[in-house]
Amino acid sequence: MRTCGATPGGPSLDGVDVTTQTIIQGVVLRDGDDGVPNGTPVGNAHVRLLDRDGEFTAELPTNGQGQFRFFAAPGTWTLVVQAPGARVEQAVDATKGIPTDLVISL
Amino acid sequence: MSRSTSLVSADWVAENINNPKVAIIEVDEDTALYEQGHIEGASTFHWRDDLQDGLIRDLVSKEKFEALLSKSGISNDTTVILYGGNNNWFATYAFWYFKIYGHQDVRLIDGGRKLWELKALPLVKEVPARASTRYVAKERDNSIRAYRDEVIAAIGNLNIVDVRSPAEFSGELAAPAHLPQEGGQVKGHIPTSKNIPWSKAANEDGTFKSDAELKDLYTGAGVDLAKDTIAYCRIGERSAFSWFVLHELLGVTNVKNYDGSWTEYGSLVGVPVAVGA
């Protein structure tokens, strides 16, 4: 992965009280036009959070840097990421006070 | 009130972008989306800055709504096409709002911004300039808006549909999971309400399910559509989505959106609250 010195993952947690929140966040990447694996963030991918029963809980588009963040509750969740021509599912175990930070490849 | 008068496809929009009788408006929770790119010819309304009074908790006045539409170049006979992110939550809220003030021809893009993006249809950054008009709104139609006292009176008597996620209904979460967890003073739901999440009415690409599937969704959950129905969520936008499904797609006339929703009800003193599934 090309990181350009930045920590791969979701948006900065500066100013967020992580101790009181159960955060699931990350970045959505796809291979770059120049052939670099996972080289390009996917802006406006749609990230959907499903609960342990597979029920829809929330959805949001990634930002221009391909990042997203949910404020969930502790437990097991599933992320579904949709973008033109792509759909990826990923299971997540979330914990209060310890942000879960993901890199999702399309 | 049917699919043919309330809903248009993305393809229909693509063919009508330059139709002068049509005004396309994007309504988002996150207004940065519009600035990143929008459907050609679309202007934008901000759900809070343009559609909330700002001083008291209420819709904007008739005069402010008239000024907003006049400034946006919308006439009383304009076909208004709404769409937005978040599976059209705020676009359906704006649809309900246009109906509150009596606009004749307002429609929603099936699938909203998400389907447009998933189909990789073009988005532009140019902001359109429409000549201003003199829009005249009607008095508010309160037959589609519920207030707290009628919600309390409906407990055990009428259909109350809580369209939030199961985790919000049970009291596990206070708000949708993409937002910080704040909302009413307490968590839970209105007693005797049925939890039919708005999302069950939509396909994964954001389009609405078929009329037969939608009818089954409500009647299968025990909603007697012959009785009056009140829909609520946290701040009234997801319940506007479910109001749209019932009132516009299924043609059920006796449905109200409780836009005070859980942020009001969950902060009232002395009203009953239920928790758990």
Per-residue confidence in pLDDT tens, chain B, 277 aa? 789 999 999 999 999 999 999 999 999 877 788 998 999 999 999 988 999 999 999 999 999 999 999 999 999 999 999 999 888 999 999 999 999 999 999 999 999 999 999 999 999 999 999 999 999 999 999 999 999 999 999 999 999 999 999 989 999 888 877 776 667 789 999 999 999 999 999 999 999 999 999 999 999 999 999 999 999 999 999 999 999 999 999 999 999 999 999 999 999 999 999 999 8
- Please indicate, yes or no, whether residues B233 and B168 belong to a single structural domain of this protein: yes
* Strand ranges (E), B93-233: 106-109, 159-162, 194-195, 229-232
Kindly report the CATH number assigned to the domain that includes residue B254. 3.40.250.10
Residues on chain A touching B173 (C-beta within 8 angstroms): 57, 72-73
C-alpha span between B152 and B231 (Å, rounded): 13
Assess if residue B109 is contained within a domain: yes
Phi/psi for B219 (5° steps) reads -70, -35
- Please indicate, yes or no, whether residues B93 and B178 belong to a single structural domain of this protein: no
- Please indicate, yes or no, whether residues B248 and B235 belong to a single structural domain of this protein: yes
| Residues A61-87 pLDDT 10s | 898 899 999 999 899 999 999 999 899
The residues of B that are catalytic are: 233
In this complex, the residue of B87, B117, B179 whose CB is nearest that of residue A71 is B179
Number of domains present in the structure of chain B = 2
Asked whether the CA dihedral B200, B237, A27, B37 is positive or negative, the reply is positive
- Please indicate, yes or no, whether residues B67 and B116 belong to a single structural domain of this protein: yes
Assess if residue B178 is contained within a domain: yes
- Please indicate, yes or no, whether residues B58 and B171 belong to a single structural domain of this protein: no
- Please indicate, yes or no, whether residues B135 and B170 belong to a single structural domain of this protein: no
Beta bridge partners of A71: A23
Assess if residue B188 is contained within a domain: yes
- Please indicate, yes or no, whether residues B136 and B153 belong to a single structural domain of this protein: no
CB pair distance less than 8 Å for A49 and B172: no
Q: In A, what residues contact B, Cβ < 8 A?
A: 21, 24, 43-44, 46, 48-49, 51, 53, 55-61, 64, 69-73, 80, 82-84
Assess if residue B25 is contained within a domain: yes
CB pair distance less than 8 Å for B180 and A71: yes
- Please indicate, yes or no, whether residues B17 and B129 belong to a single structural domain of this protein: yes
Task: Kindly report the pTM of this predicted structure.
Answer: 0.90
Domains in chain A with CATH codes? 18-105 (2.60.40.10)
Assess if residue B273 is contained within a domain: no
Provide the residue range defining the domain that includes B156: 143-265
- Please indicate, yes or no, whether residues B109 and B166 belong to a single structural domain of this protein: no
Alpha-carbon Rg for chain A, nearest whole angstrom, is 14
- Please indicate, yes or no, whether residues B45 and B112 belong to a single structural domain of this protein: yes
